[in-house]
Amino acid sequence: MLVLSPPLRLSVLQLLALLPTSLWGCLQCDDKFKENLAKLRTGLVQRQIHDSRLKARAEALLQGLQGDFFSHYATSQFAGFAVKSMVDDLFKEVRSRTEDLAKSTRTDQALLDELVEFRRKTTMKLKVALKEHQMRACDKANCDWLQYSVLDCVGCKDINAVCYTIRQCFVDSQDRLSLRYGQVRWDPNIAQNGVAIVLCMGGVLFLVIVGV
């Protein structure tokens, strides 16, 4: 693997951080995992969930996992880079787990609950890999000496670990929570809107009084 100097590696990381978040990322980088999810959605769910509403929820859950659910989580809660060795281990685990799920004998609500729990546990394990790198990359005293690879959860690329910028370490939590699958949903400025509403209501009241 090509080793870049710390300044150049930081520039590469910053450029990658600007890529759109709608691309496949994190666990979606693994074709076998996506294939297994597709089989669950078109096979197990169709066969063993009979209630139409429960079936629709299960299909939506699995389709989300095939899509950008994990990359959205990685970029909305963290900076989007996870320890590569930890993600590789998670790849193996989720492949095996989805193969076991395909043999499940559960039906309807019980099967949906099992799928929901699988998503929760998988997300928490991905969180560990993301948080581990976040802590190391934000340690300004030691991050220049990082000697491991990270997975870019947006572009599905392996890169050398580098220091995070201040913005990547302490990005505003409201901006993170406002992200919705790759698009930023800007929250309204409550104070400005409130003032505008009060002024409008005052103007209407004035016109009513004058008219009377």
Q: How confident is the model at residue 36, as a pLDDT?
A: 96
- Region at 26 (left for phi over 0; alpha for psi -120 to 50; beta for the rest): left
- Region at 149 (left for phi over 0; alpha for psi -120 to 50; beta for the rest): beta
pLDDT digits (tens, 9 = 90+) for 6-37: 454 444 444 443 333 333 457 888 999 999 99
Q: Is 196 helix (H, G, I), strand (E, B) or coil?
A: helix
pLDDT digits (tens, 9 = 90+) for 99-109: 999 999 999 99
pLDDT digits (tens, 9 = 90+) for 45-98: 999 999 999 999 999 999 999 988 998 899 888 999 999 999 999 999 999 999
pTM of the entire predicted model = 0.69
Query: Which has more confidence, 120 or 206?
Result: 120
143 has pLDDT over 80: yes
Q: How confident is the model at residue 24, as a pLDDT?
A: 41
Q: How confident is the model at residue 166, as a pLDDT?
A: 87
Taking alpha carbons only, the member of 29, 48, 1 closest to residue 129 is 29
Q: Give the pairing of strands 179-180 and 81-83.
A: unpaired
Q: Is 4 helix (H, G, I), strand (E, B) or coil?
A: coil
